[in-house]
Amino acid sequence: MFKRHYDEEGSGNIGKYQGKRLGCYQCDADFTFNAEPYAHNHSCLVGPSDPKERERGIAQCSQNSRYCMAEVTRVNRVLTKFSRKCADDCVTSCLQNGFAMDNEVCTYCCEAFAYCAENRNKIENIHKNF
């Protein structure tokens, strides 16, 4: 039986297994034109509501993966893409570019929280330290 390691945010949700490979919720949501329509309750954004589905949605990462990562893309402040996956390396950051179209891609990293998600406070705290 694996020992569960709970996330540092204190929510008690499933995190990585101590001494074993990291497990992360993996999904993609694409709300751009000709893709799927936006839904605030999309399972990739909020995670499955059924506890059994939440457990099944956790994918075992490779041995090199040390992070669960969430990547959020916005165009003119409108959410267009959201993904969660395993990552070998990860840096919490937001990159902005574009002329006339403001494109922002934010990356959020979690070492022990399988349902890694957007956390704007982390980004704001990083910018305060520079």
Residues 65-114: tens digit of each pLDDT: 999 999 999 999 999 999 999 999 999 999 998 877 899 999 999 998 88
For residue 104, give every residue at least 6 positions away whose Cβ sits within 8 Å of its Cβ, in sequence order, or none. 73, 74, 75, 77, 94, 95, 96
Q: Tokens standing for 89?
A: 């390396």
Q: How far is CA 51 from the centre of its chain?
A: 18
Using DSSP's 3-state secondary structure scheme, residue 128 falls into helix
**The pLDDT value given to residue 120:** 62
63: nearest Cα among 108, 19, 106: 19
Task: Calculate what percentage of the chain has a pLDDT beyond 90.
Answer: 43
**The pLDDT value given to residue 22:** 92
Length of the chain: 130
For residue 18, give every residue at least 6 positions away whose Cβ sits within 8 Å of its Cβ, in sequence order, or none. 2, 3, 4, 5
Given a cut of 80, whether residue 17 has pLDDT beyond it is no
Is the pTM of the predicted complex or chain greater than 0.95?
no
Query: HSE of 90 in the Cβ direction (CA atoms, 13 Å)?
Result: 21
Cα–Cα distances in angstroms (integers) from residue 51 to residues 54, 55, 57, 85, in the given order:
5, 6, 10, 19
23-128 placed in CATH 2.10.60.10: yes
> pLDDT tens digits, residue range 79-90?
999 999 999 999
